Structure 1
Amino acid sequence: MMKNIKKYIAAFGLMATIVSCENLDELNVNPSFPVDVSATALMPPIEQQMAVGLQFDNRILGRYIQNFSIATVNTAGSQWDQYGYQANSDVGGEIWKMVYFSIGLNLSKLQEKAIAEERHDITGISKIIRAWSWQVATDYHSELIDFDQVFTQRLSFDYVGQEKVYAEVVRLLNEGISDLARTDGNVSQTYTAGGDKMYGGDRSKWMKFAYGVLARNLNNQINKASYNPDKVIEYCDKSLASNADNALIRYNGTIAADINFYGPGRSNFNTFRQTDFAVRTMNGEIFGATDPRMSRVLVPSVGTSETAPASAAAPDPTKYTFNGNPLNTTASTAASNVSRIPNFWGTYTVGAQANPGRYLFRDKANFPLMTYAEIQFIKAEAAFIKGDKALALEAYKKGIDASIDFVNANTVVSTVFPITTTISATEKSAFLANINVVPLANNLTLSQIMLQKYVALFGFGMLETWSDMRKYHYDNQNIYKTMSYTPNGGLFVDNGGKMPYRVRPRFNSEYVWNFEALKAIGADKVDYHTVEMWFSQP
């Protein structure tokens, strides 16, 4: 009997071996979850992660640049309001995760497929996205993983300095632009549009986006002898030409996976409040004129504000009372305080999908990666540094104009608190005609350019604003007037009295698995985040 059993086992094993050898290619293949997908199937999640990485980390960057602060003092995460960081935490590490994990190998696979299929438009797009991701990551963290080692089988990685990263960004962008200019092979806007949810396969718009990244790259280097404002202006002129070119990541806002991270349906901002500095940039204290964007972007306090309009057909947003939270205090949420500040949805409660939200803080709001207004302010800054004040004023005025139109496109009209209307043509014209806001060319100041850029990027362009603040070394006398760097409780203890210039690499990848390499760049030091960036140095 035992001999027969052994024969059966041997025969079964032989059959299994034959079957496995003949069908080896099918081993571990699940037809419901293919491992090889089309290029257009890879593109939407890659583009979506471009927004998610920024949105997560904007929660801390928004506090470094004083767009907002958290509602209470001495709670988890309040270190960021004191210009510090959370040790042994992944808070602040989402951009790193986006670049190396969420996008990472997916983008490599996209480029490989595009090259193999001679889809030069997708090849160009993939290089531009990679360049954008390196630019974002280095402006946030500084040193990055050596390009010869990244996405390899290595278990530890060395880091390269920001100068090498900046050069790699330029190389990739130039290659991407060249690829997009090709018309041979299998270039097809119809095919690419199936996956490209940002620009619908429009190569001309991707080229403009690439030139915008080039403009950011070079304009961050204003302190260097090699800085060339004419080149910046050239890049801006080749970049976004109107709000129709804005780089937007879109949200349908119907299910949790497709709700804007800022929206009430995700409830990620219920403890955040606008700062007093953000209010001063719009309430006339700095510019000498009330900004019509204030009542559409910022949130009024209940206090003496109009909670219901005298006329439903003609609500009066001028009756709003706006307050800003001093850095890291509890005053903003005390129920006994009639001037307490709502969250960015206009409520005091945890977010829910039933809440319509406001401005970019809506479930269905599209998230901007780059806007025409930003490009115009970059051009204005470069022209000002060059000494061409007439050109600087022209670009400056276009930037404000475009920002107002952008705000209108994202305004939810409401006749209940917080009452909101779109900015009328009369309001817009009056603001642009105000000599305090748009002076004569010879009277234009660099502070006006940078502060209007601050307003235009409020709520989404935190990294670009922080780059500006760092290259001007937090100058609150000549540039960011009235901004205070003395939060409640003082600067974070590990700062040693210094301001932050970088965010530490992601804890759960670098500090846990690659610590020896971090020591080589000084990232084991408690004040590493205060080390100045290469781009901001002479």
Structure 2
Amino acid sequence: MRKLSIVIFCLLATAFSSCKKFEHFQTDPNKPTQSTPELLLTNIETKAFNDISTSGAFASRYLVNTDGIDANQYYNWQRSSFDDFNRLRLVVKMEEEATRTNQPVYLALGKFFRAWFFMRLTLTFGDIPYSEALKGAAENFTPIYDKQEDIFLNILNELKSASDQLAAADGEIRGDVIYGGKKEQWKRLINSFSLRVLISLSQKEGNAKLKVKERFAEIVNNPAKYPLMNGTTDNGQLVFADLQDNRYPYYNNNSMQTAFYLEENFVNLLKQYKDPRLFRFAQKATKFASLPDNDFSAYGGAKGSATIDENNSRVVNGEVSKIAKRYYNDPVNEPSIVLGYAELQFILAEAVVRGWISGNAADFYKKGIQASMEFCKIAPADITAYLSQPSVQLTTGKELEGIFNQKYIGFFMNSGWQVFYEQRRTGLPVFDVSGNGVLNNKKVPRRWMYPESELNLNRQHVSDAITRQYPQGDNINGVMWLLVKE
């Protein structure tokens, strides 16, 4: 009888355990499904702010690669990726966790990072999924593509909301490796980024929907509500450390040590201005090794448009300067700036010249140069001497050329592809395509083609977007809405 009771008990226990939902057995207790917003924030920040790109440097005529035919240098790239949507999914998760734990300060930062990553995506391709993006949980795996105009409008509104929400939000920002939890500095970055977005719309001054000039002036003329960066200490930047996975991205990079040289036109621009930043960016050419480090004639460049054979010949002759050793020898080197005080000053100078705001363009321009040179650790006396040179002063009627040249110099090995987008918008400085190495019919591309995965998984919507934007099909020379004057 006792044995029978035991058997019956076991059967009952099994029956009750089988009533548990199937989902219960799909949860791995060793893999948590929840996180904290601060941990997610750290991850998001490092992905957004570590934006040092030699690919962008080749395309923007800063550097030349002598190891092989680089598609960026020779303007023959094709497709890019939607990887930033993976980063946006982290932002969504941070927002969910912020809501769950009642920490609204992270919701404000979430709006900023949404704007940040969506901006990068639309600058790359043109129209992209936006209103229906990031809804895989709702089983929408084929989102429509929103028009670039609507995306920009939403980005601007998102940033304004982020600034207002951050001002009102209580609570600490933990997990912040950029500003150490200082909300005021985040507000300055958000508002300064809004100005970058607006100046990128300079071709759309006449667009009644966007009201670019009015939005720009609203921010600049109300510093109490919309504070901007006050100095280089407000730079939006990621500082590196001599620790595993935290070092400068090109530390110990073999290609940078052996095959990365400065581009000739960039070197000549620095020489034209007698710019001491050249000595921080480059090594002396071996042919002139006996000359002092601060002798401009000791530096030379290779042509980004020339063939590899032509450039290697000049390298063998000792005529060309390698990139400075600190970029591959120093594990910390310099921070990765994604948006800095120097850029903000150049944006303000351009806005004055365009008549969007009042002020003195030359003052903003010189503040931008000084901030850039301070970042490059140029001695104060040398900065003062540089700013007094006649060649550095803004020339009447050519103010934008001077501003864009200095902005270009200040972007060296920083801010990812932003310098390329600036040149695409303004045409300045001119990127050389005269040499025999340039592909793409000797044209600088205007965009990237959509990922192959979209053609496989979301063909109808991506095809509609291509037809709407690019009559010649999905190609790297298509002119997106952003670049068409209104």
Q: CA deviation at 1:294?
A: 1.1
What is the deviation of 1:364? 5.3
- Please tell me whether residue 500 in structure 1 is matched to residue 448 in structure 2: no
Q: Which runs of 5 or more residues in structure 2 are unaligned? A: none
Correspondence for 1:188? 171
* Cα-to-partner distance string for 1:409-450 (whole Å, 9 max, x where unaligned): xxxxxxxxxxxxxx222211100111210247x476210001
Kept in 1, the 8 Å contact 2:262–2:282? The answer is yes
Provide the residue aligned with 2:370 in structure 1.
401
Q: Is the 8 A contact 1:264 1:345 kept in 2?
A: no
Instruction: Report whether the alignment pairs 1:100 with 2:97.
Output: no
Give, as a single letter, the amino acid of the residue that structure 2 aligns with 1:40.
Answer: E
1:277 to 259, 265, 275: 265
Task: State which of 68, 72, 81 in structure 2 corresponds to 1:80.
Answer: 72
Matched, 1:200 2:199: no
Aligned counterpart for 1:261 among listed residues 249, 252, 267: 249
CA contact (8 A) 2:307 2:437 kept: no
Separation of aligned partners in 1, 2:229 and 2:57:
25
The SS at the match of 2:481 is coil
Q: Structure 2 vs 1, CA of residues 513 and 365 (structure 1 numbering), >3 Å: closer, same or farther? A: farther
**Once the two structures are superposed, what CA deviation does each residue of 1:62-115 show, in whole Å capped at 9, x if it has no partner?**
233212232245x3xx3322322146xxxx43xx30x211x1222111112223
Structure 2: which amino acid aligns with 1:180?
Answer: L
Correspondence for 1:251:
240
Matched, 1:174 2:157: no
* Higher RCO structure (Cα 8 Å, ≥6 apart): 2
The equivalent residue for 1:329 is 307
Partner Cα separation in structure 2 for residue 345 and residue 515 of structure 1:
46
Query: How many angstroms apart in 1 are the aligned matches of 2:372 and 2:280?
Result: 12
Q: 1:455 to 1:281 in 2, by over 3 A?
A: same
SS of residue paired to 2:261: strand
Residue matched to 1:471? 425
Q: Is the 8 A contact 1:180 1:203 kept in 2?
A: yes
Bigger CA drift: 396-405 or 430-439?
430-439
Instruction: Give the deviation of 1:20 after TM superposition.
Output: 5.8
Structure 2: distance between partners of 1:480 and 1:105: 36
Task: Name the CA distance, whole Å, in 1 between partners of 2:322 and 2:11.
Answer: 70
Instruction: Give the TM-score of the pair, scaled to structure 1.
Output: 0.77
Distance in 1, matches of 2:361 and 2:448, equals 32
Partner residue in 2 for 1:223: 203
Matching residue within 450, 461, 484 for 2:432: 484
Aligned residues: 464
Alpha-carbon distance between aligned partners in 1 of 2:375 and 2:218, rounded to the nearest angstrom = 24
Aligned to 2:192: 212
Are 1:136 and 2:145 matched, yes or no?
no
- Residue 265 (structure 1) shift: 5.2
Q: Which residue of 2 aligns with 1:65?
A: 60
Structure 1, 219-228 or 445-454: larger mean CA deviation: 219-228
Residue 282 of structure 1: how far off its partner (Å): 0.9
Residues 167 and 41 from structure 1, CA distance in 2 versus in 1: closer, same or farther, beyond 3 angstroms? same
Which residue of the partner structure matches residue 419 of structure 1? none
1:46: which partner in 2?
44
Structure 2 match to 1:239: 228
CA shift, 1:300, in A, is 2.6
SS at match of 2:64: strand
For the residue of structure 2 that corresponds to 1:303, the secondary structure is helix
Query: Compared with structure 1, are the counterparts of its residues 338 and 17 closer, same or farther at alpha carbon in structure 2 (3 Å cutoff)?
Result: farther
The one-letter amino acid paired with 1:252 is: A
Residue pair 2:282, 2:321 contacting (<8 A) in 1 also: no
- Given candidates 381, 389, 392, the residue that maps to 1:437 is 392
Whether contact under 8 Å (1:220, 1:536) holds in the other structure is: no
RMSD: 3.2
* Alignment partners' CA distance in 1, 2:359 and 2:182: 33
Inter-CA distance 490–338: structure 2 relative to 1 (3 Å threshold): closer
What is the CA-CA distance between 1:346 and the residue it aligns to?
Answer: 6.7
Label 1:529 to 1:122 Cα distance change in 2 as closer, same or farther (>3 A): same
State which of 476, 479, 483 in structure 2 corresponds to 1:529.
Answer: 476
What residue in structure 2 maps to residue 415 of structure 1? none
Match of 1:82, SS state, is coil
Amino acid at match of 1:62: A
**Equivalent residue runs for 1:385-400 within 5 Å:** 385-386=354-355, 391-400=360-369
For 1:147, the equivalent position in structure 2 comes to: 131
Q: What is the aligned partner in structure 2 of residue 418 from structure 1?
A: none
Structure 1: distance between partners of 2:129 and 2:145: 4
1:16 and 1:141, CA in 2 relative to 1: closer, same or farther beyond 3 A? farther
State the alpha-carbon separation in 2 of the partners of residues 339 and 13 from structure 1. Answer: 87
Identity fraction in percent: 20
- Residues 445-469 of structure 1: CA deviation (Å, up to 9, x unaligned): 2100011000111111343222222
Quick check: 1:520 aligned with 2:464? yes
